[in-house]
Copies of this chain bind each other. A is one copy, B any other.
């Protein structure tokens, strides 16, 4: 398999496979969510189940194209909580492959996902967020964790986070992904939070814990992503300027990084929850329809 190195590559790859995934959307009534779902239906990658308050749908005329109608199903559930539980149930019971959040508060849908009996998180699994970034100026997709779900990962959580990211890279055709453990500096110091965890992770990597991948850290952003600026530092690293995965020290660093490049470098993001039994798309209101569409595409390749 040729590695998938852009979101365009990804959607073409999925369309060529000609196998629509079933997407259950909890309360898909807002136009941003609907636009994204329609893009995914039109791209030929999903068949959508809109679970929610039919009467509240913002732009019903969006569905009127005959070419997409066969792939849109409405499940009328006027109450948000009820719609959310029904969408989760459909995914849990195999009637759908992917869960997506529409106009639902994040804590409501997270509670449904985390429910021990009726939810989607297998016991013992770590729930985290992983996203692919397409940054104009970077030569491939870049996966990163975690801007939202785990504020300050424990060592065990970070291990799980890295394994999910590696697994995702593999689905995109990167057989030997390069993982960078990112920090403000490449110099480990006991006074700096998470540096010891980084050193422990590096030791586990040397012992084979993460399989056939390249890993280095702590590294700063220049060393991980830019050959030229990285080289000036004279720090030898096999990742130099070519990282596939960025693991950030905490959610604040991950969050400001992606929002900075989204805002000023036109980066697009497609992200999903990791650790669940089926892919879950939980984008935030401030994300564009295009980002939500890319998130659906990332979910499709993992479903």
A255 — which chain B residues lie within 8 A by C-beta? 183-185, 220-221, 253
Nearest Cβ in chain B — how far from A236, in angstroms? Answer: 15
- A252 contacts which of B147, B232, B253 (Cβ < 8 Å)? B253
Over the window 55-93 of chain A, the binary record of Cβ atoms lying under 8 Å from chain B Cβ atoms (1 yes, 0 no) is 000000000000000000000000000000000000000
Contact in complex: B220, A183 (CB < 8 Å): no
Q: Does A217 contact B (CB under 8 A)?
A: no
Contact in complex: B152, A193 (CB < 8 Å): yes
Interface residues on A, range: 35 or more
Q: Does A136 contact B (CB under 8 A)?
A: yes
CA distance A221 to B230 in the complex (A): 26
Stretch of A263-271, A273-281, A293-301 contacting B (4+ beta carbons < 8 Å): A263-271
- A259 contacts which of B221, B250, B259, B265 (Cβ < 8 Å)? B221
- A249 contacts which of B184, B230, B252, B267 (Cβ < 8 Å)? B252
CA distance A151 to B188 in the complex (A): 13
CA distance A226 to B264 in the complex (A): 10
**CB contact under 8 A between A286 and B256, given known A226-B263, A263-B225:** no
CA distance A233 to B148 in the complex (A): 16
- A257 contacts which of B185, B251, B256, B267 (Cβ < 8 Å)? B256
Least CB separation from A265: chain B residue? B264
- A267 contacts which of B225, B230, B264 (Cβ < 8 Å)? B264
Least CB separation from A250: chain B residue? B252
CA distance A253 to B148 in the complex (A): 14
A250 — which chain B residues lie within 8 A by C-beta? 193, 252
Over the window 136-165 of chain A, the binary record of Cβ atoms lying under 8 Å from chain B Cβ atoms (1 yes, 0 no) is 111000000001100110000000000000
- A253 contacts which of B137, B220, B253, B267 (Cβ < 8 Å)? B253
Least CB separation from A284: chain B residue? B233
CA distance A17 to B253 in the complex (A): 40
Least CB separation from A263: chain B residue? B226
**CB contact under 8 A between A260 and B184, given known A233-B285, A253-B252:** no
CA distance A230 to B286 in the complex (A): 7
A183 — which chain B residues lie within 8 A by C-beta? 252, 255
Q: Does A7 contact B (CB under 8 A)?
A: no
9 further A-B pairs in the complex, CB-CB below 8 A; given A253-B255, A256-B256: A136-B264, A148-B184, A183-B255, A193-B252, A221-B259, A222-B259, A232-B286, A257-B257, A264-B265
16 A-B residue pairs with CB within 8 Å: A137-B264, A138-B264, A151-B193, A183-B252, A184-B251, A184-B254, A193-B250, A221-B263, A248-B252, A249-B252, A250-B252, A253-B253, A253-B255, A257-B257, A260-B261, A265-B265
